Structure 1
Amino acid sequence: MEFPKILLDKISYYLRDRKESISIAESVTSGFLQLAFSQMPSAEEFYKGGITAYTIEQKVKHLNIDYDEAKVVNCVSRPISEAMAQNVALLFDTEWSLATTGYATPVEESGDEIFAYYCIAYRGTVIRSDRIELHPMTKALDAQSYFMEYILGCLRCEVKRNHEHINI
């Protein structure tokens, strides 16, 4: 698997320069983001870890997701991704956090669509949260790879910005 090296290098540079750390909670990307972070230069200086929680039970247990809310949306929604991001930051004690949830294959629960919700949080505050949609014929591995690269691009933009005014 190829990773966007320039993108990884920039994220690594910005996080190290800011002396800030990051953690990740994944579902639909199934560890792709964590794998990408392991490929970044000096990752041990800023990447504290992550969790891949694929089922509602694991998201409730490890990421403190509200079971009743998750059950209604099959654990896939913008508020779920936001809670995942905020709670993984608490779990790993990081300034930055990422979270993903969604569908890499078209299934009945997704309305036969492929999409992901992602969230980027900084110091406990959601700073970017959105939905990514792909064509329903997209292969699962391609969808997961696309979601990962798209989210890393968004993260690069956010860590480059000055978010120092948030929750200090």
Structure 2
Amino acid sequence: MILKSSQIGVSSDELSVRSLIFFIVELQNLLNYIGSRMQRSGETISIAESVTSGFLQFSFSQMKDASKFFIGGMTVYSLDEKVTLLNVDAQEVQKNNGVSSLVAETMALNVAKLYKTDWSIAVTGYATPVAESNKKLYAYFSISYKGSVILSERLDLHSRTKAVNAQLYYTEFILGCFKLELDKLKQERVVNG
């Protein structure tokens, strides 16, 4: 049997607030972990984002002593800025409305070059269902390390997801993937001595 929130005495607004509080607590734990790992490694990171509108940069800025490893980032919302600032191929940008795995990978590689960082994260996608996305919500993100893309994926969401929730979900998911990449690298270093 499925209970509706009205049957258990909790409004949907209260459930939303509880979900947000849980999200913030979990996100803070993730940020603390990433921040301490980045400090211990002595490596640096930069961000290029579109669909998340600065949420990734904001997240890194919330980490303890962020200025020691978070070098900077940019929000490139328009197609022209992706081409002009991050040297993404103009034909690829036009063909896919700036949203493809190749666009995300190029953004990641070039923001790392621009900021001279060890790591980079890039994301581009849709937070609202529009004609260009066939009314679907999805994003492509890439993580690069030392000049190579090490992870590039597509993340799909339900088309009824509110825009801000989509942006937050993309951000949290990408940060979780970044944590896993940090863990993999640490494990490889232990194995290789």
Q: Kindly indicate whether residue 50 of structure 2 is the aligned counterpart of residue 30 of structure 1.
A: no
Match for residue 150 of structure 2 among 127, 133, 157: 127
CA distance in 2 between counterparts of 1:99 and 1:68 reads 19
SS in 2 for 1:104: coil
Q: Deviations over 1:109-159 (max 9, x none)?
A: 001000100000001111111011000000000000000000000001111
TM-score of the superposed pair, with normalisation by structure 2: 0.83
2:31 aligned residue: 8
Q: CA RMSD in A?
A: 1.4
Offset at 1:161?
2.1
Structure number, greater radius of gyration: 2
Residues 17-166 of structure 1: matches in 2 within 5 Å? 17-162=40-185
Q: Mean alpha-carbon deviation: is it higher for 155-164 or for 110-119?
A: 155-164
Structure 2: which 5+ runs fail to align? 1-19
Size of the aligned set, in residue pairs, is 165
Q: Give the % identical residues.
A: 48
Q: Deviations over 1:86-115 (max 9, x none)?
A: 000001000000000000000000010001
Q: Which has the higher contact order (CA 8 A, sep 6+)?
A: 1
Q: Which is richer in helix?
A: 2
Offset at 1:82?
0.2
Instruction: Return the letter of the residue paired with 1:10.
Output: Y
Offset at 1:78?
0.4
TM-score of the superposed pair, with normalisation by structure 1: 0.95
CA distance in 1 between counterparts of 2:185 and 2:159 reads 37
CA distance in 1 between counterparts of 2:101 and 2:95 reads 13
